[in-house]
Amino acid sequence: MSMHPILIEANHLLPGGLHTYVVTESFYLNALPHAGDPPQLLVAMKNEAEADHRPNAISPIVTLCHVADFNHYGPQQIALTLQGIENVKVDTIEVINGDVNIAHHAPLPQWQRQPLPDHYAYLSDKLKQYYRSNPGRHDHFQLTQYDDTCWVCLRWLELLPIEVKQKQLLLSQPNALLVAEFIDRLLRYPLIDQE
């Protein structure tokens, strides 16, 4: 079992993705000795509606991330750019130094890279359109994989406003094709409010 500092965030980051989070300088300095070499952190999902960061209530599937870059952001703040490596399962969490949660975690089976089937090509096209119209969300991507079912599905799961429980269920699927089917149905047949 491995252990790394964990961030609990409403902006979800999954393997193959890149995102910048602003943390306090004290968190970063206290977390760094526990982050390993090269430094790695975990990012856990929380619902945007949740106001607090409850480490004991997080969903178990989290993303192990490489610290790709860091810069001073403001007074006593650091902007951490994290790159998702793989999904892992959290077993326990302990608090150290007052503001750092350390999670003990175990590996999970990872989705294998597979070509995006032709009938799901529009998922890739819509993702490209989204990033073109929201360049700030795509600034860091140099190596996109629009032809890979796994990469495309993970980017959609980062973006879609679905409940964390649903995302966790989708991440626990044995392969990305099952997730592509869900995303396809969601985009083709959106739920209509009957009221």
Query: Can you give the CATH number for the domain in which 176 is found?
Result: 1.20.58
CA 46 to chain CA centroid, nearest Å:
11
Strand partners, 22: 79
Helix axes 176-188, 149-159, angle to 10 degrees: 50
Last residue of a domain, one of 81, 107, 133: 107
Residue 49 gets which letter from DSSP?
T
The region, left, alpha or beta by phi > 0 then psi within -120 to 50, assigned to residue 64 is beta
Q: How far apart are CA 44 and CA 164, in angstroms?
A: 10
193 pLDDT above the threshold of 80: no
Total domains, the chain: 2
Question: Domain for residue 194, yes or no?
Answer: no
Same domain, 85 and 167: no
Q: What was the pLDDT predicted at 54?
A: 58
Mean pLDDT calculated for residue range 115-143? 83
Mean pLDDT calculated for residue range 61-68? 96
Mean pLDDT calculated for residue range 8-14? 92
Question: Domain for residue 63, yes or no?
Answer: yes
| Lowest mean pLDDT, pick from 5-9, 57-61, 142-146, 174-178 | 142-146
**Higher pLDDT, residue 57 or 69:** 69
CATH number at residue 37: 2.30.130.40
Question: Can you say whether the dihedral through the CA atoms of 43, 44, 50, 54 is positive or negative?
Answer: negative
Same domain, 56 and 26: yes
Question: Domain for residue 112, yes or no?
Answer: no
Same domain, 148 and 70: no
Q: What was the pLDDT predicted at 104?
A: 96
Q: What was the pLDDT predicted at 96?
A: 87
Same domain, 22 and 80: yes
Same domain, 31 and 84: yes
Same domain, 10 and 103: yes
What is the domain range of residue 143? 118-188
Same domain, 135 and 183: yes
Same domain, 15 and 44: yes
Last residue of a domain, one of 107, 137, 154: 107
| 0.85 exceeded by pTM | yes
Question: Domain for residue 195, yes or no?
Answer: no
